[in-house]
A and B are shown apart, each in its own frame.
Chain A
Amino acid sequence: MLAGWIVVLASFAYLGVLFAIAWHADRRADQGRSLIANPTVYALSLAVYCTTWTFYGSVGRAAATGIGFLPIYLGPTLMMVLGWFVLRKIVRVAKANRITSIADFVASRYGKSQLLGGMVTVIAVVGVIPYIALQLKAVSHSFSILAAVPEVVMPRAGEVPLLQDSALYVAAIMAAFTILFGTRHLDATERHEGMVAAIAFESVVKLVAFLAVGLFVTYGLFDGMADIFARARALPQLERLLTASDTAAGYGSWAALTFLSLLSVLLLPRQFQIAVVENVNEAHLKRAVWLFPLYLFLINLFVLPIALGGLLHFGPGGGVDADTFVLTLPLANQQGALALLAYIGGLSAATGMVIVETIALSTMVCNDLVMPLLLRRGWLRLRERTDLSGLLLEIRRWAIVVILMLGYAYFRLAGEAYALVSIGLISFAAVAQFAPAVIGGLYWKGATRGGALAGLSAGFAVWLYTLLLPSFAKSGWLPDDFMAAGLLGIELLRPQQLFGLTGLDEISHCLLWSLLANLGAYVGVSLWRAPDANEARQAGLFVDALRAEETGHWRGRGAVGGGTAAQVAELLALAGRFLGPDKARRAFERHAAARELSLDRLTADASLVHFAEAQLTGAIGSASARVLVASVVEEEPLGRDEVMNILDEASQARAYSRELEQKSQELTLATAELRAANERLRELDRMKDDFISTVTHELRTPLTSIRAFSEMLHEDPRIELAERTRFLGIIVGETERLSRLINQILDLAKLESGRADWTSVAVDLAPVIHEACASLSQLYKDKGVALTLEIEEPLPTVMADRDRLMQVMINLLSNAVKFAPAGCGRVKVGAGRTVMLDAAGRTEAALRVAVADNGPGIRPEDRETIFEKFRQGGQDVLTDKPQGTGLGLPISRQIVEYFGGRLWLEPVAAAEAGAHFVFTLPLPSGDNAEQQKA
C-alpha cells in the first residue's frame, strides 16, 4: 500500500516545502521583516537537539533500559536554567566579538589562536561524524522499512552492495540539500534566517508526528497508559523496565548521561550555531529557558508507552528492532498514512540535524582549518583575487560533501554494531571535551592558550582511545585483541577498563577519564605561566562580558520600578560624603530641575541612580562608584573581586591625589605669580594711561591761557596798553612753562627708557651749588626769602654730569622758594661728607646735600608720593596752585639715582616747619681710600 515511489515523492515534496519556507524567510529577512525574530521560533529551532536519536532511538533505548533514555533530556532542561547566565554570556561575547562558530569562540578566547581553532574543528568533525552516521542510518532504515511494506523487514547494512545502499543516496541527497540551503550566499555574520525558519518548522513536524504515533499506540492499540503499564507488569521481561536499576553504577551512569547531555546541548556545533550564532535577540533566551524543556518534555511523554507497546505487540525478541517501533507499529496495524507521517517526522529530525550540523562544521572547516592553511601557504595569490566569496562557498560545499561522506563511511564501518543512542553518545562524549575550554574560558581569567590546547588534546586522545577505536573494533574493522588485552598487551591500558577501572558503562568510563585528563591538563598547563597580554585582553572581554550590562540592568529596572524617597536621601548622603554635602545637594537640585521636579519629589529611578553614579565616578572611579551606588540601591554584599577593585582603585586614587595635590600647589604658586605679573602689567598700563591723560591736561592748561589771551588781543585792538603788556607777559610766561614741560617730559622719557647719554666726569659740587643759587637769587630776592649756604670746604668730587646736577639743584631750590612764605622765608643749603649704605649693604663714603625751607612742609603720608609724576606738593593744601610742572622731583630723583645716589625727603620734628630735601652721591673709590687715610 506504500509504494517506494510514494515514499520518495513524499520525501522530496517535504524537502521542497522546507526549501520554500527557507526561501520565504530569507526574503522576509532581506525586507527587514524577519520571521525568526520571535522567542518561540528561537525556542523551537533549539529543538534541533531532537534528532532521529530522539525520534527513533529513544524508543529503542527505552525498550532496552526503561527510563534510561531520559537523562539525555533532563540534562538540557537543567542547562537551560543555567542558560540564563551561561548561554546569555556566550551570546553576548559572540555578538560583541563577531564569533561565528564554537571553534571561533575557543580560538578567540585564547588570544585568537589559529592552532586552537583548527584543533576544535578537527575534534568537532571527528566527534560528530558518528552522529551524522546515526542520522543516515535512521533515515535509510526507515526508508527501507517503508519500501518493504507490506512485510515488516529489518534492514541489514553491510550486506547490500555500495551502489544499492539507500544510505549512500540519503547522504548524497542530504549533501545536495544542505549545499542548496546553507551555501547559496555568503553572510559575514554566518546567520541563516531561512534555515532557522525551516528548522523551527521541522521541530513542529517531528513533535506532531511523534505525538500522533504516541496517541495512536496508547489509545488506538491499547487502552491508555495504565493499560500498557498493567500489561507490561504482567510480563517479567518487561516489568524490570518499569524501575531503574537500583545500583550505584546505574545511578552513576544516570548522572553521567545527565551531565553529558547538559554539556552537549551547549557545545554541539549545531546547538552553538542555533543558540548563539543564529540568536537574533538575547531576550529570546527568556522564553527558550522554559519552552525548549517543555518541548523535550512533550516529545518524551510517549516514549515509554511506545516502547512497551512495541515490545508487547511484537514480543520481546520478536525480530523487530525497537529503534523502529515508531514506524513499524503503525505499519503492522495497517496505518499507512500514520507511518508516512512518522517517516516524515523522522526525516525532519534527520534533515534538521544534518543541515545545521554540516553547515556549522563546514563553516568551521572553512574558516578555522582550510583558510588559515591556504593563507599560511600563500596558495591564495590574494593579490590576483578580488572576490574570495566564491572560493569560500566552494570550500564549504566540498566540506559538506566530505563530512557527509565520512558519516556514511562510519555508518558502513561501525554503524551496525551499535544502537542509535549509543552512536550518538560517542559524539556527545567528543564535544564534551570542549567544556573546560569554553566554560572555563568564560569564568576563569587565568586560563591560557597552552592550557586549552593541552586539555583538548588530552581529552580528545582519551576519547579516541576509549570510545572511538573500540567502536571500530567492535565492528570488526580493527583487530579487537587490544580491547581485551590492552595496548601493547598491557592490561592496565585496556581501552574500556582503563587503569583497571571496571563497573562503569563505556560512556561514563570515557567521560570520567577524558574529562579528568582534559581538566587536569587545562588547569595544570594554564597555571604554568601567567596569561600574556593578548590572552589577558581576550580573557577580560569574555569573562567580564556581562559586567557592563549588570549596571545597565539596574538602570533598566529603575526605569520601570522607581525607588523610594529614602533611597534618594541615601544617594544624596552618599554623594555628599564624597562631593561635600552642599555641592551634592546643588547637583541633585540641578538634576531635579532639569526634569522639572523639586528635590523632594524626586524618586530614585534609573536616571537618578545613573546620575549619582556618574557624580561619584568623577570622584572615586567607576568601579567604586558602581559598588557604592549598588550598596544603597540594592543592599547587596560586596564580592571579593569588587572589594579588590575598590582597594586597587583607592590606592591608585591616593597616589594620584597626592600627585594632584602637589601639582595643584605648584599651580597655585604659578597662578599667584601670573596674577601678580598681570596685576603689575595692568597697573603699568593704567599708569601709562594716567600719565598720558595727565600730560595732556598739563599741556592744555598753559595752552588755554595762551590761546585765550592771544585771541582777545587779536580781536580787540582797543585794549589798553597796560593790559596788553600784562597779557603778553602772561603769554610769554605760559609759553615758557609749556616749553619747560615738554623738555622735562622728554627728559623723563629718556631717563625711564635708559637712553640718557650723560657724561660721567669728576664734578666739584660746590661751584654747582653756588651757580644754582646765583641763578635763582633774583627770585629769592623778589619773594623776600633768605638763602643761606653751609658748604664744607673742600668738597670731594663726585662722578656725575655737571649740567644734570645743576638741574637737580635748581629744581630743589625753586621748589623751596615756591613754598617758603613770602617776606619771612628762609632756605638753607648744606653740603658735606657722609656715609651711606650701598646696594650690598656696605657702608661707603658719600657726599650729602640738603635743601631745607620753612614753608608749610609735606604731610608724612605724602613724603613719597611727591616723587611721583605730576604729584605736586601741597596740591590739596593750597588754594594757590604752585607754579610747576609736577615733573621736577621725579626727574631729580631719577638723575640722582642714575649716578648711584638717593634723593628723599627727610622727616622733620613736628615743631620744625618746612620741607627738608636731601640727596647723597657716592664718592669714587679712590677718594674713599683717600678720605679714610685722612
Chain B
Amino acid sequence: MTKKILIVDDEPNIVLSLEFMMKKEGFAVAVAADGDAALEQVAAFAPDLVLLDVMMPKKSGYEVCQLLRADPARAGLKIVMLTAKGRETEVAKGIALGADAYVTKPFSTKDLVAQVKLLLA
C-alpha cells in the first residue's frame, strides 16, 4: 500500500523539491502552502506523514503540530518538522509539541528520505 505524505511549506521551490523527491521514492504526495491548508489537507488526504515547515503564514508549524496531536483520530500520524531556525530551543519546542523528528534546513535529501522511510517502516 502506498504511503501518503503531505508536504507543508510556503516556499514554492522547497515544496517542488520535496514533492519531486518523495514521488520518486514512490510515495503519494499532497501539498499545502500554509497552516490552514495543511489542516484541510490532513482531513481530505489522510496522510501517513506530514513534512511540516515551521515559519508559515496563517498558522505556524507549531500550531498545526499541536492541533494534529490533539486529535486522537490522528494518533498514528507521523510529523517531521522542517525549519530554517536551528536554535536549540526551537528544536526542543518541536519535540515537546509531539513532532517525531526535527530537520533543520538546508537538509540533506538522502538523510531526509532515510528519516521518512524509517518513520513509515
Contacts and interface: CB of A to CB of B under 8 A. Distances in A.
Touch between chains A and B, by CB atoms below 8 Å:
yes
Contact of B10 (A698, A730, A733, A881): A881
Nearest to A734: B13
Contact of A708 (B55, B85, B109): B109
Nearest to A737: B13
A663 interface: no
Interface in A678-719: 693, 696-698, 700-709, 711-712, 715-716
Given A705-B11, A708-B21, A711-B110, A881 B57 contact: yes
A733 B14 CA distance: 13
A707 B84 contact: no
Contact of A876 (B58, B84, B105, B106): B58
Contact of B13 (A715, A730, A875, A877): A730
A697 B55 contact: yes
Given A697-B55, A876-B58, A881-B10, A703 B20 contact: no
B13 A693 contact: no
A237 interface: no
Interface residues of A, number: 29
Nearest to B85: A697
Interface string A471-485: 000000000000000
Interface string B4-21: 000000111110111011
Contacts of A879: 10, 33-34, 37, 57
Interface string B21-46: 10010000000011001000000000
B89 to A, nearest CB: 10
Interface string A705-747: 1111101100110000001000000100110000000000000
A879 B9 CA distance: 10
A878 interface: yes
A246 interface: no
Contacts of A693: 85, 87
Contact of B57 (A708, A730, A876): A876
Contacts of A930: none
Contacts of A733: 13
Contacts of A716: 24
A707 B107 contact: yes
Contact of B109 (A696, A700, A711, A880): A711
B33 A701 contact: no
Counting contact residues on chain B (CB < 8 A from A), the size range is 20 to 34
A704 B58 contact: no
Contact of A701 (B14, B17, B34): B14
Contacts of A708: 14, 17-18, 21, 106-107, 109
Contacts of B105: 700-701, 703-704
Contacts of A704: 11, 14, 17, 84, 105-107
A696 B84 contact: yes
A140 to B, nearest CB: 108
Contacts of A730: 13, 16
A422 B114 CA distance: 128
Contacts of B14: 701, 704-705, 708
A55 B108 CA distance: 122
B59 to A, nearest CB: 10
Interface string B85-97: 1110000000000
A702 B84 CA distance: 10
A706 B109 CA distance: 11
Contacts of A876: 57-58
Contacts of A703: 105-106
A696 B34 CA distance: 21
A246 to B, nearest CB: 111
With a 10 A CB-CB cut-off, give which of A708, A723, A880 has the most chain B CB atoms.
A708
Contacts of A702: 13
A612 B41 CA distance: 73
A309 to B, nearest CB: 113
A701 B16 contact: no
Interface string A868-886: 0000000111111100000
**Which of B14, B18, B58: most chain A Cβ within 10 A?**
B14
Nearest to A731: B13
A719 to B, nearest CB: 9
Nearest to A703: B106
A255 B57 CA distance: 112
Interface centre among B20, B34, B86, B87 (most CB of A within 10 A): B20
Given A700-B86, A700-B106, A707-B107, 17 more contacts: A698-B84, A700-B84, A704-B105, A705-B13, A705-B14, A708-B18, A709-B17, A712-B20, A712-B21, A716-B24, A877-B57, A879-B10, A879-B34, A880-B12, A880-B33, A881-B11, A881-B57
30 contacts: A693-B87, A697-B55, A697-B84, A697-B85, A700-B84, A700-B86, A700-B106, A701-B11, A701-B14, A701-B105, A703-B105, A703-B106, A704-B11, A705-B13, A708-B14, A708-B107, A709-B13, A711-B108, A711-B110, A715-B110, A716-B24, A730-B13, A730-B16, A876-B58, A877-B57, A879-B37, A879-B57, A880-B33, A881-B10, A881-B57
